[in-house]
């Protein structure tokens, strides 16, 4: 067995396991033991590396946020027009990786967790601010009220997310819904 540099490996394993466990339970009512077991270690080790349960959750949330950021930037880097940028942002929000039931469940739960945990809230705000500023940046050339439109789109994203998470029957692809719904509010860019 290896002896050095285990920390990042263990942390990664725990974060992954935490997300999986949350996904499986559908809630944050998950024990450190269950997470640790799934990650192949004792719960004592989990505490050794993360200090406490909340830190595991926060790390998991950061992990998901980072995954989302990757989706966003990889798509954004290919977009040249404001419309493309908007499309990139919306589609990133419904990318496979974000739409993975496991992730969507964790995401949803963190959302609520933010309501009672300042740390979680802080992370959530980061996501919200980033999405908002990305949206506004994309919308500015093609909308007269980019802020308001951005807020509506962000709300639409969140709303469709939840519906997906809760398995509501969806008439069509969420991204398409958003884009179609947004279209009339856009002007021509030049």
Partner DNA sequence: AATGAATGAGGATTCATTCAT
Partner DNA sequence: GATGAATGAATCCTCATTCAT
Interface with DNA (CB under 7 A): 1-7, 10, 29-33, 41-45, 47-48, 51-54
Nearer to a copy of itself, 55 or 177 (CB): 177
> Does 184 contact a copy of itself by CB under 8 A?
yes
Does 160 interact with a copy of itself (rule: CB under 8 A)? Answer: yes
| Minimum CB–partner distance for residue 106 and DNA (Å) | 16
Residue bearing tokens 């469709």:
160
Scan for tokens 């908007």, then name that residue.
86
If binding is defined by CB under 8 A, does position 37 make contact with a copy of itself? Answer: no
Which partner from the list DNA, a copy of itself, none does 6 bind, CB cut-off 5 to 8 Å by kind? DNA
Residue 90 touching a copy of itself (CB under 8 A) = no
Q: Which does 81 bind (CB under 5 to 8 A by kind): a copy of itself, DNA, none?
A: none
Alpha-carbon distance of 6 to 30, in angstroms, equals 24
Least separation in angstroms between residue 6's CB and a copy of itself is: 15
- Written as six digits, the tokens of 35 are 């997470």
Q: Tell me the two tokens of residue 169.
A: 């029957």
Q: Which is nearer to DNA, 36 or 182 (CB)?
A: 36
Distance CA 136, CA 7 (A): 39
| Euclidean distance between CA atoms 97 and 69, whole angstroms | 11
- Closer residue to DNA (CB): 27 or 97: 27
Asked whether the beta carbons of 18 and 35 are under 8 A apart, the reply is yes
Structure-block tokens of residue 10: 């263990």
Binds a copy of itself (CB under 8 A): choice among 92, 124, 135, 142: 124
Environment class of 26 (CB within 10 Å of its CB; exposed 0-12, middle 13-18, buried 19+): middle
Closest approach, Cβ 36 to DNA, in A, equals 7
């Amino acid at each position: 067995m290896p002896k050095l540099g285990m920390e990042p490996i263990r942390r990664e394993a725990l974060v992954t396991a935490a997300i999986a466990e949350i996904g499986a339970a559908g809630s944050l009512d998950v024990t450190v033991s269950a997470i640790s077991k799934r990650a192949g270690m004792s719960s004592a080790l989990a505490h050794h590396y993360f200090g406490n349960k909340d830190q595991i959750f926060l790390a998991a949330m950061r992990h998901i946020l980072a995954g989302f950021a990757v989706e966003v930037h990889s798509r954004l880097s290919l977009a040249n027009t404001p419309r493309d940028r908007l499309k990139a942002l919306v589609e990133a929000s419904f990318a496979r990786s974000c739409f993975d039931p496991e992730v969507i469940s964790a995401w949803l739960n963190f959302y609520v967790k933010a309501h009672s945990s300042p740390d979680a809230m802080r992370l959530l705000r980061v996501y919200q601010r980033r999405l908002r500023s990305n949206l506004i940046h994309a919308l500015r050339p093609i909308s007269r009220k980019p802020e308001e439109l951005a807020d509506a789109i962000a709300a639409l994203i969140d709303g469709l997310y939840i519906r997906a998470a809760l398995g509501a029957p969806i008439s069509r692809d969420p991204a398409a819904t958003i884009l179609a719904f947004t279209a009339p509010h856009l002007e021509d860019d030049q």
